[in-house]
């Protein structure tokens, strides 16, 4: 665990030195494009069929992370049949526009420091990237605050069993027990942050 954290922190420092460059999209165009997406992501109780977990909240998520996630589904590096179907026909420009729109929704746009929930000790290793209050410190890393509890569990288990591959998180998730996963999911889902963006609330 110590070595994994060390490597991870080294990766973080180099990422911080080189500022993340990504093309910022047009949020207005993104709003129109995201309409079909909100047919699932805009409904709080909407679930992935099997295994069953709620679809992730996207309102207020970091733009560069959204771009990476959507491109991952589109290009097949992140496997999910439904999301592949949704992303397959999007151009780079459309992906950037959708990300720009979603990133400005919700309250997760506030900088770290606004939560009254105490950071618990176990999350100390996660803070370097996901922030003091679960609001990530870089546009390239996902905010976890306010994400659905069962989605966080599903995501961490995907890293643990290798169905979702990403060098940093695979290393971070590998040593976690089932109990750790439940504790993290409970903790982050209860922080204020991401929101379910609904089409009718979109202005």
Name the site residues for ligand HEC (rule: CB under 6 A). Answer: 8, 11-12, 36-37, 39-41, 48, 55-56, 58, 66, 68-70, 80, 82-83, 86, 98, 125-126, 128-130, 141-142, 144, 152, 154-156, 164, 166, 168-169, 172, 184
Residue 85's Cβ-count burial label (10 Å; 0-12, 13-18, 19+) is exposed
Length of the chain: 203
Residue with smaller CB distance to ligand HEC, 77 or 203: 77
| Min dist. Cβ of residue 154 to ligand HEC (A) | 6
Peptide bond into 51 cis (omega under 30): yes
| Min dist. Cβ of residue 114 to ligand HEC (A) | 20
CA separation for the pair 163, 56 (Å, rounded): 17
Q: C-alpha angle 121/61/86, rounded to 5°?
A: 130
Q: C-alpha angle 87/69/100, rounded to 5°?
A: 85
Residue with smaller CB distance to ligand HEC, 8 or 100: 8
| Min dist. Cβ of residue 119 to ligand HEC (A) | 12
Residue with smaller CB distance to ligand HEC, 100 or 169: 169
Residue with smaller CB distance to ligand HEC, 100 or 172: 172
């Amino acid at each position: 665990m110590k070595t994994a954290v060390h490597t991870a922190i080294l990766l973080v420092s180099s990422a911080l030195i080189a500022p993340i460059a990504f093309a910022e999209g047009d949020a207005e165009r993104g709003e129109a494009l995201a309409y079909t997406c909100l047919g699932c992501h805009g409904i709080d109780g909407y679930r992935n069929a099997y295994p069953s977990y709620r679809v992730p909240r996207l309102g207020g998520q970091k733009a560069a992370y959204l771009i990476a996630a959507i491109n991952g589904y589109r290009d097949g590096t992140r496997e999910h049949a439904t999301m592949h179907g949704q992303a397959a026909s999007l151009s780079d420009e459309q992906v950037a526009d959708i990300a720009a729109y979603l990133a400005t929704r919700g309250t997760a746009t506030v900088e770290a420091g606004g939560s009254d929930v105490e950071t618990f000790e176990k999350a100390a290793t996660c803070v370097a990237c996901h922030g003091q209050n679960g609001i990530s410190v870089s546009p390239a890393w996902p905010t976890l605050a306010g994400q659905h509890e069962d989605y966080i569990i599903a995501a961490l288990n995907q890293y643990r069993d290798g169905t979702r591959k990403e060098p940093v998180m695979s290393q971070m998730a590998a040593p976690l027990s089932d109990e750790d996963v439940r504790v993290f999911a409970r903790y982050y889902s209860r922080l204020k942050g991401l929101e379910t963006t609904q089409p009718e609330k979109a202005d």
